[in-house]
A and B are shown apart, each in its own frame.
Chain A
Amino acid sequence: MKLSLNWIKDYVKLPDDMDLTRLAYDLTMSTVEVEGAESLAERFDKIIVGEIKEVLPHPNADKLRVCRVDIGEEEIKDIVCGGSNLEAGMKVVVACPGAMVRWHGEGEPVEIKNAKLRGVASFGMICAAVEVGLADLFPAKDDHEIMDVTSFDVPAGTPISKALGLDDIILEIDNKSMTNRPDLWGHYGIAREIAALYDLPLVEFKKYEPDTTCEYDVRIIDSERCPRFIGAKVEGLSIKPSPFEMQSRIWRVGMRPINALVDITNYVMLATGQPTHVYDSNHIIDHIEVRRANEGEILQLLNDKELALSTDDLVISDAEGAVGLAGVMGGAKDSVLPETESVIFECANFESRGIRRTALRYDNRTEASSRYEKAVDPERCDQAVSLAMKLFAELYPNMKVTAYKDLYVNKLQKKEIDVDFDWLDRRLGKRIPQEVVARKLGAMGYDVIFTDKGMHIVVPTWRSTGDVSIKADIMEEVARMYGYENFEATTITTSFDGAINQLDVDLVRKIKEYLAFRSNMQEIFTYPWMTDEFVTALMPSTDGILALATPPAPNERFIRSSLLPNICKAIVKNERNFDEFDIFEEAQIFLDKDYTSNYEGEKLPMQKKHLGCAFVGASDNVTELFRRAKGVIGSMPRYTHMEAFTFEKIEKPYWADETVWLNIMLNGKKIGDLALLSKKAALACGIKVLSAVLVELDMDELVPLKSRTNRYVRMHEFPMNEYDLSFLVDSMIKWDDVYSCVMAKKNELLRDVKFVDEYKGKQIPSGKKSVTIRLIIGSDEKTLTGAEIEQVANSVLKRLSKNISAEIRA
């Protein structure tokens, strides 16, 4: 919302030495966020009134003229201009060198410089209204018409801002900062805050007393939705422009002047925050009534939208039908028309929620509806009528109010609040003198009555529509008017009864740090919604997956039941730039089942914390990828201090390769999968070149250890010897088979056996593979001799050849 400082000064007399920066700062701190303050005089810097003395032809151009212009200096200036309405004696707007104008009203402002136009030197430029941003106040009949200010009786050389009375400061208020304050949506409301801030007197509106006894026929059918309606028949009017100052004020705060009648209603709204409307009285048949629309009732609005209304809409109607959509916009047929000479003036109060619903239903929010929907109080009508009638009288000295009715059927109850001083002091952390409290509250319109221990406060009507209702609100009023900056920060005290110990929270962090810092993986964040093609690629069906009612995109309806679709999307994205990478994400997944209740009355679908990982690399070395993944996941329990899990083959994940997959098991329960993404699924995802081993794990199932459980093991006193063996076996023989064969009934000197390598291919017969293992052989009593070591190795070889038909490689 824009506010004119001059307009505010109508209601509160600011000291002449008022520092504007200070005002903006104080308003921001205590009331609303002032986003900017623009001086119009600066905007129109170096733009002045010039008087054309003579219009001469341009020697080199038919459409241009050379104007001899008096700009208040001794020397008459030559200015080249192509205006269609140039005449000697005319007063025009001259942008002198250094001024900022918009060429033909378009683009960014550019600086005017002395220039030669088709060979003739020109001092600055004679402007069209659009070029100095004044087209709304000086509409041009055609593109070449320049702005005519002859009617302003000012000498040449006067700055245009002064000539037009634009010497004003425009404050830009952030609307978001006052959605809860219906009283602030006009100049008067802000003036009241300023008055309270600086202890200045506020101008009051004199209540309007009609001098007619004739009652206008107003009927309120729905008093819940329309607590008050004032209707007045005003005669002796006509359609004409409003006075320049009125137009100018309306324009300065961002609206367009239309004609005197419409301008009066807008002016009243901008001043008081109360919307009003005028209907051509010749079009209003018999009476005005405020009622719900009939289902399908047709109304054409002023902006030509034709609506088929619903019974939830409130309308202003005459005897024949709707003439306006209450609180939103008037009807096209019955509002002000070119021939209007008398009007029905409406100043009404409507219930906020209904207005909001209607405005949203037809996507037709207006200046009026946006004020009503914040809950304007019904007594503001008094201020609005007072100002409107004053303006009618000023603009139309012959006007007469011939019928009048103020129907206030649903009177607003002022809120009443009791506040203890003791409570107030404790919450503020500071004692503010009662006299200051009472003065500040009084200036904002509160009635304060001191009681034994505190105050009985009656809230003014304009704050009683939902804004202020409890003592915490009063505390806020006091604190902000006293100045938040005048309260020093106090320290926080507390008692500790032990260290914070949150094993589950710590485990999540340990896992993420293990993956990132020990396992070289990168954490990613993805959205909770999944893209359809990835869902189709990775899941057998969409059963049990939750969807959004209004998804971000039509193909992003489903919210994740698994982290893998989005991880695959991340693989596709990064495949372009990297040929090897490992990524992980920790996030919640959602399933359309369970609907259990952890909290009061709430039944929520199943939500779990999952870990998803992808180990991505070249397709020709799946073994390496697989072992990388298995190594990272397999070692995770040890490094993150949780109960160990195991790998088993129980149930192949839908998206997994036929052979390369494992389930992750904890205490007999499947808690996750580790598997190669199948070729089919990879292609469906659009993963073109690389292979990926994916892991998904239910983190809610993980069990953190209360403390570390591993024990210290003594270092061996005598050397442990490594002895490598290579042999050929059937290629279907697994490492597990080799391991159990070696370790079963083993010699006590054989301490361990490790996988070193396996090889298939050249020099190895088909159907076979070469396996290299490393035996760890040693004694706790002595250093073994070569012969003793050989003996252990030979016994292993014998067992291998007997049990799994291993052939020793030559």
Chain B
Amino acid sequence: MKEKLEALLREGTAKIEATQSEAELQDVKGALLGKQGSITELLKEIPKLDVSLRPEMGKAINNVKSLLTEQIEGRREALKLKASEISPDFDCTVPGFEPKIGGLHPITQMCYDLNDAFRSMGFEVFSGPEITSEYYAFDNLNFPPNHPARESMDTYWLEGHDSGEANDKLCLRPHLTGDSVRYMQTHKPPYRFVYPGRVYRNETTDARHERAFFQYEALIVDKDFTYTAGKVMIKSILSKVFGQDVPVRMRAGFFPFVEPGFEIDMGCLVCGGKGCSVCKHVGWIEIMPGGTPHPNVLRAAGLDPDEYTGFYVNIGLDRLVMMRYGVDDVRLFHSTDLRFLKQFH
């Protein structure tokens, strides 16, 4: 009988542990402790035993009974916590819902990234009018009177405003630099500001050339500023855009509004400077012009060029965004095609 009891405890424990639901557990409980349950059956056999054995056996059986009861209640709690209303065939591999969300144009995104970087260095953000006089587009910027950029094959002049004196001629601004003089004329030095915006050139368009594009220009003007400090601005822009330190070199370049002027190259990130098709096998990519404001520009702004100097950088955001995402056709930025624009959310 003792063996029987031990076996019952062993089997009972196993059965309880094996249950997977409360209903199942209830069945097991019935089978063990119910009116016709195994324990009950055993208890019924006690009267058949020798009197001297009865108390001990009775105690043993009741002990097992309470052990099993404890186990059943324990199991019941465990099953409750484990219980799920969800059918086991629930498919966790179904995709999540896309959050319904719009987005900024990829060029705006880049522009705001740069604004944040420059603001953190104490730069103001400025913007000027897109229609400008020839005076602000060219004369103030030391462009000689016969400079080809002034011609209608390069610049969009307005009908009825395409001849006469520099103040009478109006065009869609061909670059942002004219706005630097507007800012300087209306603020007090020293200056540090950025003035991003759209510019327009009369060009034949293809995958690399656009008529409307977005530039980002920054200018510092201060006393005894050395042009080598300009490298800091350049590095700030590039590390912000590409998320890593980018090698930079400044080499001779000519633009009317700077003296000295530079072409600024960055190390090719595709090949790490070893040379590849992206950088035309030179390891460097021409990324922006820059330089010290020409004394005539500072004079136009009302400053004494012997006292003040500074540094310009001008970067084409279209080109940078193209590099950031591997976009191969600049015209896509003005395509308004949502299939394209939604890729930059």
Contact = CB atoms under 8 A, between A and B. Distances in A.
Q: How large is the interface on A (under 10, 10 to 19, 20 to 34, 35 or more residues)?
A: 35 or more
Interface string B6-43: 00000000000000000000000000000000000000
Interface stretch (B61-69, B72-80, B124-132): B124-132
A766 interface: no
Contact of A599 (B108, B152, B182, B335): B182
Given A356-B146, A570-B336, A604 B104 contact: no
Interface string A30-71: 111101100000000000000000000000000000000000
A472 B103 contact: no
A31 B104 CA distance: 41
Contacts of B215: none
B104 to A, nearest CB: 5
B338 A577 contact: yes
Contacts of A550: 152-153, 156-157, 202
Contacts of B157: 548-550
A480 B161 CA distance: 41
A726 interface: no
Q: How large is the interface on B (under 10, 10 to 19, 20 to 34, 35 or more residues)?
A: 35 or more
B226 A472 contact: no
B50 interface: no
Interface in A541-598: 546-552, 557, 559, 566, 569-570, 573-574, 577-578, 581-583, 587-588, 590, 598
Contact of B252 (A30, A472, A500): A30
Nearest to A466: B144
B81 interface: no
Contact of B254 (A179, A557, A566, A588): A179
B260 A500 contact: no
A489 B229 contact: yes
Interface in A477-530: 479-480, 484-485, 487-492, 494, 496, 500, 502, 505, 509, 512-513, 515-517, 519-528
Interface string A1-40: 0000000000000000000000000001111110110000
B131 A607 contact: yes
Nearest to B248: A489
B138 interface: no
Interface stretch (A406-414, A422-430, A729-737): A422-430
Contact of A604 (B100, B131, B336): B131
B280 A35 contact: yes
Contact of A472 (B108, B130, B160, B292): B292
Contacts of B272: none
A555 B96 CA distance: 47
Among B102, B135, B254, B305, find the residue whose CB has the most chain A CB atoms closer than 10 A: B102
A196 to B, nearest CB: 13
B136 A602 contact: yes
Nearest to A360: B151
A31 B336 contact: no
A87 interface: no
Interface in A450-485: 466, 470, 472-473, 475-476, 479-480, 484-485
Contacts of A426: 224, 226
Given A470-B259, A522-B342, A607 B129 contact: yes
Contacts of A569: 336
Among B104, B115, B182, B220, find the residue whose CB has the most chain A CB atoms closer than 10 A: B104
Contacts of A801: none
Given A180-B254, A548-B156, A524 B336 contact: yes
Interface string B254-290: 1000011111000000000000000010000000000
B250 A548 contact: no
Contacts of A423: 306
A397 interface: no
Interface in A644-685: none
B102 A515 contact: yes
B100 A520 contact: yes
Interface string A81-93: 0000000000000
Given A353-B146, A527-B212, A30 B260 contact: no
Given A33-B251, A515-B102, 4 more contacts: A426-B226, A492-B220, A546-B158, A588-B130
Interface of A: 28-33, 35-36, 177-181, 352-353, 356-357, 360, 423, 426-430, 466, 470, 472-473, 475-476, 479-480, 484-485, 487-492, 494, 496, 500, 502, 505, 509, 512-513, 515-517, 519-528, 546-552, 557, 559, 566, 569-570, 573-574, 577-578, 581-583, 587-588, 590, 598-605, 607
19 contacts: A353-B146, A426-B226, A427-B292, A428-B227, A491-B232, A513-B104, A517-B101, A520-B100, A523-B105, A525-B107, A525-B212, A548-B159, A549-B162, A573-B336, A598-B182, A600-B185, A602-B132, A603-B167, A604-B129
